[in-house]
Structure 1
Amino acid sequence: MIKRIIAQTAGVAVLGAAIAASAQAAEFNLKMHHFLPAKAPAHAKFFQPWADSIEEASEGRIKIKIYGSMSLGGKPPQLVDQVQDGFVDIIWTLPGYTPGRFPAISAFENPFMVTDAYETSQALQAYYEANPEVQKEFADMHPLAFWTHDRGVVYSKGDAIDSVADFAGKKIRNPSRPVAAALDALGATPVGMPVPEMPQALAKNVIDGTVIPFEIVPALKLHELVDNAVEVQTEDGRGLYTAVFLLGMNKAKYESMPADLQQIMDDHAGMYFAKLGGEFFKNAENFGRKLIDENATRSQMPAAEVKKMQEATANVPVEWVKEMDGLGLPGQKLLDSANAMLEKYSK
């Protein structure tokens, strides 16, 4: 009888501990929202392990549930408002999806402002941390980190776009205003659209091609929709373009956390995350290349044409500086800072 009572008491204690642990685990249940499907490598192999690491470090007090494919509603350009309004707690998006809203962070979206994702992501994060003007743009949220994808590639249906002349008259999808300006300077017709709209636009011939990294090929099945992929790289390793990514958190939610949990979020953010994201996006290029090689034609733009492209787009950053100046921002200072950071973090 006594043994039975002891066993029952022990069982109650274990159950009580389990209930307490469960309650602790529910302290901060965060919703993260983004635009790619859950099967995308970035969702399953990057963001999910990152969320799991935070849960482990917080001993279950922070749990992040990730929702892909805009499954909580809205369109990709609305993600910024969703996190600022508290509809969701964390977002992954591109500031370029809301043109004109975050102008200073777009310095890295000017032509030939990328080496590879790992180096450029660190340069971008350092640029944000070094410039109050850039930080001010994100005052209505708590930015966790910034990073970029690898060198953008020029994809096309039909013939390869492997010279400056080949851009003339082509309708090419672009991710941001600086990239649109570069495509326009090359004679193409830029068509702005978020990533999820791209496959249908290609299938229905709304666009003739797109600029995007290899990393996104598997998620969009881009290898089934294009015939050619042309890599653009200068002699010093710079690519045609990259896009700025933002991992943003609701400001009130972050501030509601106790200091120890804020520290855990901080430990998984900033330069730590920029390195992590940059490395993942750089390495993720390989599978996309493989799919293109199996289903389409991959080639390198000739060096002479790359130089022509640099010359043709040389005025884009000049105009970017003027635009920043017109907005009351120190355009040349910001561009110089971006270039200095890219040089610092490039090997």
Structure 2
Amino acid sequence: MKMNRFTGFAALCALATGLFTGMANAEPVVIKYSRWLPVGYYLDRDVVIPWLEQFEKVTNGRVKVELTPKGVGTVTGQYDVVADGLADMSFVVTGYTPGRFPATEGLELPFLGDDMTKRCPAVWDAYDNYLKPAGTFKEVEVLGFICSSTGTFAMANKWINSVDDFKGLKIRTPAPSVTRTIELLGATPISKPASELYEMASSGIIDGAVFPLDPIPGFKLEGVLKAITEVPGGTSGTVVVLPINKATWAKISPEDQAAIRAISGRVLAENAGVIINKAVDDARKIIKDAGGEIRPANDKLVGQLKEKLKPLRDDWVAEAKKAGLTDPEAMLTAVEAITMAK
């Protein structure tokens, strides 16, 4: 039986209605975020979670993020957790896997800037313009790339006025790059988790730590690390990657990918920088109220540190070239052009 025009038109309408209904009722893409940072820690509470919550809003509910009750896998294994699809996203500290991402280690060097509203965006630009083209993190899709606040020489009761003051000291170090710093300065590096800092510092096992200001209150260290020397540009930095599993990313439509990217990358880095700076200022007040003192490094010490620690930069440039980064020095110069701008 031949289909008349009306019947044919009705069939097409029904088909179109079905397609649109199907699109409207399509299941959202659900992203599982491996949440291993302590609940209440400001980087989790004020930076990461509000950012993830925007995914649903900017995609009109087509992409949602679910937080795991605890981290999936080990803290040091978060990159592989995402790359292998055990979770879809996580907060990855590159320094927890020393030697795996040598090209990024240059972004943790001393003196690169301590204003995080400049350093965080500069670090993102370094990823976008240098690390990504070199294939760094090629196993995942990178949505965020930031740097945590810079380190200080946070001592229990000994002031650092000269590099000679490091001799004989035992100083906790958070990462291999900082371990090398301590060795070059003539002190003994002690590699232990931050969770053990209070006991070690209060009992005299260590004399202090290379440690940022903002986590000091969170670890209740304001009562034991009372002699803090700040170095212009920082003694170190910690690079953080916020990746998504490639297969999961591919499930998201190009339009929704664009919407997510619009709130990620440099935008996320700029927002993180503001929040980190505020956390540092808040910590500064808490430390002073607890009887601690924070002093800027004197000019003599700064000059000595730059001379003693010069091998760090030279050694990294050589290693980064081996890792496939064409012009490592150009990347650092680009970062400094932003972080050192008046």
Q: Which TM-score band applies after superposition, normalised by the shorter structure?
A: 0.7 to 0.9
Corresponding position of 1:239: 234
2:153, 2:229 within 8 Å by CA — same for their partners in 1? yes
DSSP 3-state at the match of 2:111? coil
The alpha carbon displacement at 1:254 in A equals 0.9
1:306 paired residue number: 302
CA distance in 2, matches of 1:334, 1:307: 24
Q: How does 1:188-227 map to 2 (within 5 A)?
A: 188-196=187-195, 198-199=197-198, 201-202=200-201, 206-227=205-226
How far is the alpha carbon of 1:317 from its aligned partner?
Answer: 0.8
The answer on 1:55 being equivalent to 2:63 is no
Structure 1 residue 334, shift from structure 2 partner: 0.9
Contact 2:103 / 2:325 at 8 angstroms: preserved in 1? no
Match of 1:256 among 251, 260, 266: 251
CA deviation after TM superposition for structure 1 residue 265, in Å: 2.0
1:97–1:194 Cα contact (<8 Å) kept: no
Which residue of the partner structure matches residue 137 of structure 1?
136
Aligned residue for 1:265? 260
Task: Give structure 2 stretches of 5+ with no counterpart.
Answer: 1-21
Give the deviation of 1:173 after TM superposition. 2.6
Which structure is larger by alpha-carbon Rg, 1 or 2? 2
Query: Is this contact kept in 1: 2:103–2:131, CA < 8 A?
Result: no
Q: CA deviation at 1:310?
A: 1.1
Q: Greater CA deviation, 90-99 or 205-214?
A: 205-214
Q: Which residue number corresponds to residue 7 of structure 1?
A: none
- Output the CA distance in 2 between the equivalents of 1:264 and 1:49: 15
Structure richer in helix, relative to its length: 1
Deviates more, 1:290-299 or 1:173-182: 173-182
Q: Which amino acid aligns with 1:261?
A: D
Residue 339 (structure 1) aligned with residue 341 (structure 2): no
Q: Deviation of residue 45 (structure 1)? A: 2.0
Aligned length: 319
TM-score (norm 2): 0.84
- For residue 43 of structure 2, what is the aligned residue in structure 1? 42
Q: Secondary structure at the match of 1:222?
A: coil
Which ranges of structure 1 fall in alignment gaps of 5 or more residues? 1-19
* Corresponding letter in the other structure for 1:292: I
Does the C-alpha gap of structure 1 residues 318 and 294 become closer, same or farther in structure 2, counting only changes over 3 Å? same
Does residue 320 (structure 1) correspond to residue 319 (structure 2)? The answer is no
Deviation of the 1:167 alpha carbon:
1.9
Which letter maps to 1:339?
Answer: T
Shift of 1:28: 2.6
Higher alpha-carbon deviation: 201-210 or 141-150: 201-210
Identity %: 26
Q: CA deviation at 1:196?
A: 4.5
- 1:288 corresponds to which residue? 283
1:253 CA displacement: 0.9
Matches within 5 A, 1:33-112: 33-67=34-68, 71-112=70-111
Preserved contact between residue 72 and residue 81 of structure 2 (Cα < 8 Å): no
Offset, 1:232? 1.2
Gap change, CA 1:201 and 1:28, over 3 Å in 2? farther
- The farther-off stretch of 92-101 and 162-171 is 162-171
Map 1:108-127; keep pairs closer than 5 Å: 108-127=107-126
Q: Secondary structure of 2:214's partner?
A: helix
Q: Is the 8 A contact 1:35 1:196 kept in 2?
A: no
Q: How far off its partner does 1:81 sit? A: 1.4
TM-score, normalised via structure 1 length:
0.82
Per-residue CA deviations over 1:57-98 (Å, capped at 9, x if unaligned) read: 222332223458xx2354321111111111111111211110
User: CA deviation digits over 1:230-263, x for unaligned, max 9?
Assistant: 2111xxxx22222211111111111121222212
Distance change (3 Å), C-alpha of 1:274 and 1:133: closer
Residues 67/214 of structure 1: CA separation in 2 closer, same or farther (3 Å cut): farther
Say if 1:292 and 1:56 are closer, same or farther in 2 by CA, change over 3 A: same
Which stretch shows the higher mean deviation, 241-250 or 206-215? Answer: 206-215
CA gap of 1:196–1:64, structure 2 versus 1, over 3 A, is farther
Letter in 2 for 1:283: K
